Copies of this chain bind each other. A is one copy, B any other.
Amino acid sequence: MDVTTYPEFSTNYPLLLTTFMKRPVRYYPDQIGVVYRNHVTGDYQRFTWRQWYQRVCQLANALQNQLHIQPGKPGQLGDRVGTMSYNTHRHLELYYAAPCLGATLHPINIRLSEEHIAYTINHAQDSVIFVDDTVLPLLENIYDRIKDTVKHFVYMSDQPGLPQSKLPGLIAYETLIATEPKDFDWPYLHEDTTATLCYTTGTTGQPKGATFTHRQLYLMTLHGMARQSIVNTPAFVDADRLGENAVPMLNTPLFHIHGWGAPFSTVFSAQKIVLPGTFTVRGFCELVDREKVTSVGIVPTIAAMLLEFKDFDKYDLSSLVNVGVGGGALPLGLKTKLEKMLPNFRAGSGYGMTETAPAAIGAFVKKHMVDWSRTAIDEVMVKTGLPVLGLEVEVVDGTGRPVPWDNQTVGEIAIRGPWVTQEYYRAPDKTAEVWYDGWFHTGDIAKVDEEGFVVIADRLKDVIRSGSEMIPTLLLENLIAMADCVLEALVVGVPDPVWGEKPMAVVSLRPGMPATEEDIMDFLEEHGVKTGKITKWMLPKLIAITSDIPKTSVGKYNKKAVRDNLDRFLAIAKDMSVPLPV
């Protein structure tokens, strides 16, 4: 590039992940930036920002020189670099080395079925796969299906040496980078260069690959950080302003939609990043105690596991001032216990998907709500939320018109904005199913209340059509989850000769809190129908109490699995329907 021209460095200065990567080493080169605890051995490794940055440079050199990874340009992806890895320091290094030299990072979802994993590797055409030692068996199981695609395999372990393996030419990561220079002349890529390729979980059909450019990830991150400028803190909350001194633990897998963006904001913010490998209860507590973790995001399942942990009281978790619980409805009983256990935890809802990178809608306290009671604020925080800064989000009817903000009329959530994926990789037909009329159509159903809060009602494919009405299953699930005795709940439609479909609730109970199907119906009448949250015809016609609700690979309720095994659940369900009047 001609260094005397300036549009590239002014009006068109590229927004790159490289800018994130370079910041912490510039200002805090000798401070510990990355802490990794091996979840199997319990061993720790700590890296200063200088050390981490140098390793990223060495890795980029290795990708280029030894693995012959070629950069891309707008409209043409760079070579794909696949990872099969938990939240380790190496995975974080890959998150920067690959995109910043212009290659495309493909964080493989290792919780998919083997068939789907192999599919995504072949579809993405990964040139190389970097694999954790603990994940090697999985990779070896699918090797035959991907061997014509992948040219190199790199083994990531804290132990020196290589294991016996069917993978040909297996290289050890530390050996790979050891002889490479500790600096790298990072290119000023065009900001429209693809940085990552992330596949959806494919609950319907094959996984689809969403691409994201450097610009898109930079803008999602920056708008998320800008939220700190507008966030309204309720009066009863101690405002903390940790800034760069926050110590975030990256708990969300880096193979799950960019770890929800954490690897980007935390590096740019020069915060000490704590990587736990994969979640274990003991590892979680030990890391919080030892590294003084201040911030972490968890899902209700993890909250439940922490509550059951017998050694919980042996750890000092007082540094945790910012615990976000999202990804699913938080049952009331669980919430109450969590509040006692972690005084600074705050339940917050949110909504996103692979295709939105994933930030789309998030819990938010509006400016006039700061003096509301704790209960009122909690209620606001569990509505799905407001569109995040920078995105256009509308709930639209069949004609594409926004529904009124009347807390009643449902429509489909449509989104557009700087970090919504442009297309499914090599799948224009699938892309055309979601991108039309200038909007990305999510397939999720919601209503909007008078304040503009979006309230998720259902997945389009999950909505139950009973008679002429739509029964919003997510609303029902959230309501059932509020019952003290309930641990988890999901609602699916069951074929019915009269109604077309009727709702069945599948419920698991909290240990030591027995309850009957009637108890649950009474709760719904009392707290749902009488309060106007739901109508009588939305009540479940069947309730199945079980201890084993099927989950997807990312811990969400698997309605497809329930629908595919309907007979099993029908066999244990109780018919709660009221006979039609004669």
Seen from chain A, the residues whose Cβ lies within 8 Å of a Cβ on chain B are: 3-13, 15, 19, 26-28, 31, 192, 213, 215-216, 219, 222-223, 225-233, 239-245, 265, 268-270, 366-368, 370, 386, 389-390, 416-423, 431, 435-440, 451-452
Nearest 10 pairs of A and B residues by beta carbon: A3-B438, A225-B226, A225-B229, A9-B416, A239-B241, A228-B228, A244-B367, A232-B243, A228-B229, A13-B418
Q: Quick check: A9 and B438 within 8 Å, CB to CB?
A: yes
Note all chain B residues with C-beta closer than 8 A to A366: 27-28, 244
User: Which among A4, A8, A9 has the highest number of chain B CB atoms within 10 Å?
Assistant: A9
Contacts A/B (CB < 8 Å), 11 sampled:
A13-B417, A15-B219, A19-B390, A27-B451, A31-B367, A222-B222, A225-B230, A227-B229, A228-B228, A232-B244, A243-B367
Q: Quick check: A386 and B27 within 8 Å, CB to CB?
A: yes
Copies per complex?
Answer: 2
Q: Quick check: A230 and B243 within 8 Å, CB to CB?
A: yes
Note all chain B residues with C-beta closer than 8 A to A439: 9
State whether A10 and B452 are in contact (beta carbons under 8 Å apart), knowing that A222-B226, A229-B265 are contacts in the complex.
no
Q: Quick check: B3 and A230 within 8 Å, CB to CB?
A: no
Per the bound structure, the CA–CA distance linking A389 and B24 in Å amounts to: 12
Q: Quick check: B228 and A11 within 8 Å, CB to CB?
A: no
Note all chain B residues with C-beta closer than 8 A to A370: 245
Q: Quick check: A7 and B230 within 8 Å, CB to CB?
A: no
Per the bound structure, the CA–CA distance linking A494 and B270 in Å amounts to: 46
A6 → chain B closest CB, angstroms: 4
Per the bound structure, the CA–CA distance linking A367 and B226 in Å amounts to: 19
Q: Quick check: B245 and A367 within 8 Å, CB to CB?
A: yes
Per the bound structure, the CA–CA distance linking A370 and B9 in Å amounts to: 34
Q: Quick check: A243 and B216 within 8 Å, CB to CB?
A: no
A149 → chain B closest CB, angstroms: 26
Contact of A28 among B11, B270, B367 (CB under 8 A): B367
Note all chain B residues with C-beta closer than 8 A to A4: 435-438
Per the bound structure, the CA–CA distance linking A5 and B11 in Å amounts to: 25
Per the bound structure, the CA–CA distance linking A437 and B439 in Å amounts to: 42
Per the bound structure, the CA–CA distance linking A5 and B416 in Å amounts to: 12
State whether A421 and B10 are in contact (beta carbons under 8 Å apart), knowing that A26-B452, A367-B243 are contacts in the complex.
yes
Q: Quick check: B10 and A440 within 8 Å, CB to CB?
A: yes
Per the bound structure, the CA–CA distance linking A368 and B245 in Å amounts to: 8
Q: Quick check: B216 and A11 within 8 Å, CB to CB?
A: yes
Q: Which residue of B lies closest to A223 (CB)?
A: B222
A248 → chain B closest CB, angstroms: 12
Note all chain B residues with C-beta closer than 8 A to A451: 27
Q: Which residue of B lies closest to A438 (CB)?
A: B3
Per the bound structure, the CA–CA distance linking A8 and B390 in Å amounts to: 15
Note all chain B residues with C-beta closer than 8 A to A232: 241-245
Note all chain B residues with C-beta closer than 8 A to A8: 438
Contact of A239 among B239, B244, B367 (CB under 8 A): B239
Note all chain B residues with C-beta closer than 8 A to A417: 9-10, 13
Q: Quick check: B215 and A11 within 8 Å, CB to CB?
A: yes
Q: Quick check: B269 and A422 within 8 Å, CB to CB?
A: no
Note all chain B residues with C-beta closer than 8 A to A28: 366-367
Note all chain B residues with C-beta closer than 8 A to A26: 452
Q: Quick check: A213 and B243 within 8 Å, CB to CB?
A: no
Note all chain B residues with C-beta closer than 8 A to A225: 225-226, 228-230
Note all chain B residues with C-beta closer than 8 A to A6: 416, 422-423, 431, 435, 438, 440
Note all chain B residues with C-beta closer than 8 A to A19: 390
User: Which among A216, A222, A226, A431 has the highest number of chain B CB atoms within 10 Å?
Assistant: A226
Per the bound structure, the CA–CA distance linking A519 and B240 in Å amounts to: 46
A210 → chain B closest CB, angstroms: 10
State whether A230 and B270 are in contact (beta carbons under 8 Å apart), knowing that A215-B11, A241-B241, A368-B31 are contacts in the complex.
yes
Per the bound structure, the CA–CA distance linking A205 and B417 in Å amounts to: 44
Q: Quick check: B230 and A229 within 8 Å, CB to CB?
A: no
Per the bound structure, the CA–CA distance linking A517 and B416 in Å amounts to: 66
Q: Which residue of B lies closest to A416 (CB)?
A: B9
Per the bound structure, the CA–CA distance linking A303 and B418 in Å amounts to: 42
Q: Quick check: B192 and A422 within 8 Å, CB to CB?
A: no
Q: Quick check: B229 and A420 within 8 Å, CB to CB?
A: no
Note all chain B residues with C-beta closer than 8 A to A13: 416-418, 420
Q: Quick check: A269 and B438 within 8 Å, CB to CB?
A: no
Per the bound structure, the CA–CA distance linking A190 and B440 in Å amounts to: 20
Note all chain B residues with C-beta closer than 8 A to A367: 28, 31, 243-245, 270
Per the bound structure, the CA–CA distance linking A306 and B439 in Å amounts to: 53
Q: Quick check: A420 and B192 within 8 Å, CB to CB?
A: no
Note all chain B residues with C-beta closer than 8 A to A223: 222
Note all chain B residues with C-beta closer than 8 A to A11: 192, 213, 215-216, 418, 422
Per the bound structure, the CA–CA distance linking A203 and B376 in Å amounts to: 58
A190 → chain B closest CB, angstroms: 11
Note all chain B residues with C-beta closer than 8 A to A231: 241, 243
Contact of A7 among B219, B241, B422, B440 (CB under 8 A): B422
Note all chain B residues with C-beta closer than 8 A to A219: 15
Note all chain B residues with C-beta closer than 8 A to A268: 230, 389
User: Which among A242, A386, A436 has the highest number of chain B CB atoms within 10 Å?
Assistant: A242
Note all chain B residues with C-beta closer than 8 A to A243: 229-233, 367
Q: Which residue of B lies closest to A244 (CB)?
A: B367
Q: Quick check: A269 and B440 within 8 Å, CB to CB?
A: no
